[in-house]
Amino acid sequence: MSPASPPSPASPPSPASPPSPDELVGRLGRWSAGRGPLYVLLAARLRRLIDEGALPPGALLPPDRWLARALAVGRTTVVAAYETLRQEGRVVRRQGSGTRVAAAALTLEEPRVKETSNPLFLHLLEAPDDVILLSCAAPDRPPAELAEAYRGLVLPDGDLGYHPAGIGALRAAVAARYAARGVPTAPGQILVTTGAQQALSLLARLLVAPGDGVLVEAPTYPGALDLFREAAAVPLPVAVGPDGVDVAEAVRVMERHRPALAYVISRFQNPTGAVLPPLAGRRLVEAANALGVPLVDDEVLADLAFDAAAGWSPLSSYGEVIGVGSLSKVVWGGLRIGWVRGPAPLIARLARLKALHDLGCDVPSQLAAVRLLDGYGPLLADRLRAVRAGHDHLRAELARLLPSWSCAPATGGQTLWVRLPHGDGVSFAQLALRHGVAVLPGATTDALGGSVRRLRLHFLAAPEVLTEAVRRLAAAWAEYTPGPEAGREAGRAALRGITV
């Protein structure tokens, strides 16, 4: 059973619309961190959201029972928090009409753009504390090669330093990587970006208009879902199985809706770890090309195969595909170097759009990236040894301390896709936070409204950190008791504006 309310009708939200109940839970972040009773901490976080304008006047807050279930607390905690805010004049509570932000509440100007409620990002915005972040999958320390790559850099003389499409040397180095995999690529087909997230953001801004359909996998990378929501797109989710996205269904969706864009992760799919077989990949590419649907393949995790000897071909080897990659998973997230590979006319348009935003990535990082790509083989081998060891260690610890949880072994990537025997990931994630571990609930990754009993856990931390994280998760699980069926009905009622 999930506290998550059913998916809303597929229509673009208004820019200043209040968050849905599910989004509110995400925006609360690590609300329970700190000292004092839980109701005081919850009231403090809700107060901040009201004062910042994230909860505008008149916004309906979730019913007591629903929010208590979603946060894995007693109903009295939510009632006391709401009552505290009522006494402050920030909310109004009326029987039959629920709890709403007071019209007189002091707020900043309502935001004109949609902000993220994604716990993946919100955890990064919190002040450092003792919480182990298994929610954000990225290397927690840079390799020695990164410092070496910066040492002795010679910066270009007589160069303004503005290169919206990227410096020529890096564009050529990235193009050479595709050519080595059998995909001839010219430097003019490469755009250098500030990480893969900016690459996806630029593509969404260029290709997607409000109300357009976007084909997405279910589940998928939640950062991409955020970007498509910001673009006011209508998600067209297609289920992912053990062999990746359901290609037959994806083709039917493209034929029926002709989406503005199709976004897939064909290799070590995030979060499931699935790998799309070559024949299925070819069929997907050929169908998208025939229907005129731009197909974006997120290749950020593609290099992280535990069997380093196993070769692979990008989807772009089968036809016209827009590839997105970065150095964040092999090198370090703090090296904000990503790229887009696509037709030269598209890359030129993206470069003009990027120029509007930042005039180009910083040159020293690009020069360092050229050096790193030149010695990429040994660097990748070291990273693969580390991620494989982390994978084996995390699975062993889960089997030892949480044997009722199930997760298939991964063949690459950096996360495990865990299934809980009962309950739901959203409410358990709240309890896990109070035990000092941040995990990513599966429901936040799934536009179909599924994956409610799933968690995504990364295995990139040091062995002793993973051991401590599982110990804390086991303590949280021993305390966890899913709420009654009424919790789900309360979530549905919340969308109808009814107090339960």
Quick: pLDDT tens for 252-285.
999 999 999 999 999 999 999 999 999 999 999 9
Note the pTM of the prediction, 2 decimals: 0.84
pLDDT for residue 10: 41
Q: What is the mean pLDDT of the chain?
A: 89
Q: Where exactly does CATH 3.90.1150.10 map onto the chain?
A: 120-142+383-479
pLDDT in tens, 53-77: 889 999 999 999 999 999 999 999 9
- Are the C-beta atoms of residues 429 and 32 closer than 8 Å to each other? no
- Whole-angstrom Cα distance, residue 459 to residue 133? 11
Where do we find the tokens 């250098």? Answer: 192
pLDDT in tens, 284-318: 999 999 999 999 999 999 999 998 777 788 999 99
Pure H helices in 89-235 = 119-125, 144-150, 168-180, 195-207, 222-230
Residue 119 in this model has a pLDDT that exceeds 80: no
Burial of 349 from C-beta contacts in 10 A (0-12 / 13-18 / 19+): middle
Residues 6+ apart with CB under 8 A from 26: 19, 116, 117, 118, 119, 122, 444
- Are the C-beta atoms of residues 143 and 310 closer than 8 Å to each other? no
For the chain, first and last CA: distance in Å?
Answer: 18
Report the CATH fold assignment for 155-377: Aspartate Aminotransferase; domain 2 (3.40.640)
Where do we find the tokens 């930042």? Answer: 358
Q: Where exactly does CATH 3.40.640.10 map onto the chain?
A: 155-377
Identify the helix (H) or strand (E) that includes residue 434. Answer: helix 425-434
How many angstroms separate the Cα of 194 from the Cα of each of 198, 231, 288, 366?
A: 6, 19, 27, 10
Tokens of residue 304, six digits: 């992280």
- Are the C-beta atoms of residues 263 and 298 closer than 8 Å to each other? yes
The CATH code of the domain at 120-142+383-479 is 3.90.1150.10
pLDDT in tens, 381-407: 999 999 999 999 999 999 999 999 999
pLDDT for residue 103: 86
Distance of CA 460 to the CA centre of its chain: 16
- Whole-angstrom Cα distance, residue 351 to residue 342? 12
- Whole-angstrom Cα distance, residue 120 to residue 476? 20
pLDDT in tens, 214-236: 999 999 999 999 999 999 999 99
